[in-house]
Amino acid sequence: MKKRVKKEKKPTFPVREVDAQLHAACRELNIGHIQAAIEAGADVNAPNETHEYAPLDIVADSLNGWDDYRFNPDYQRQIRTIVEMLLSHGANPNGIYADERPLKVFAWSCGDPKVCAMLLRYGAKVNFMCGDDDSVLDLVWEEKTFLSMDDDSDKNKGIIQRLDKIFDMLDQHGAKYFCDPDFEDDFKK
């Protein structure tokens, strides 16, 4: 007979209704609802009920898959508009979810130099650990290398060019390459 193991429930915290509306609109990637929630006084840095995600984190987490983003210009424009809207209203460009920071998602996963430039312009930090002792610069380089060896490398040429731009942009902003295990995450400072 198997014993049932109870999953540990994450604690939840009260969230103002207007902030919950902003979180929902960010999950849906709904520009009009995001704007309405901001105009109604939503806090663009308010964490969700489990204190894991702020609105910018939710947008990054809500993308419908990397290929959808990488190959769909209309979808890219929609996301860029949302990111710009949140940042221009004071959203923290670093988000609050340490392992999936917006810069990591938009640089490595999506390969979007325009969003990366926005995040950097609003003060995103470039030196933080991503998973197993990798930096964002490491991840971008690895993705570019992987895509260039892929059988669909012709399809990937545009993405590889965008990753090159992102790599240069991160490098110009002082991103560290091949972080060692003793590297201190400047997000904690």
> What CATH number did the domain enclosing 103 receive?
1.25.40.20
Which tops the pLDDT comparison, 183 or 3? 3
Judge whether 189 lies within some domain. Answer: no
In this predicted structure, the answer to whether residue 74 has a pLDDT above a threshold of 80 is yes
Judge whether 131 lies within some domain. Answer: yes
Which tops the pLDDT comparison, 153 or 21? 21
**What is the spatial distance between Cα 7 and Cα 3, in angstroms, rounded to a whole number?**
12
In this predicted structure, the answer to whether residue 185 has a pLDDT above a threshold of 50 is no
> Among candidates 64, 151, 159, 128, which has minimal Cα distance to 170?
128
Judge whether 111 lies within some domain. Answer: yes
Q: Is 134 helix (H, G, I), strand (E, B) or coil?
A: strand
- For 8, other C-beta atoms within 10 Å of its C-beta total 6
Judge whether 182 lies within some domain. Answer: no
Q: Mean pLDDT score of the chain, rounded to an integer?
A: 81
pLDDT at residue 7, as a whole number: 55
> What total number of domains does the chain contain?
1
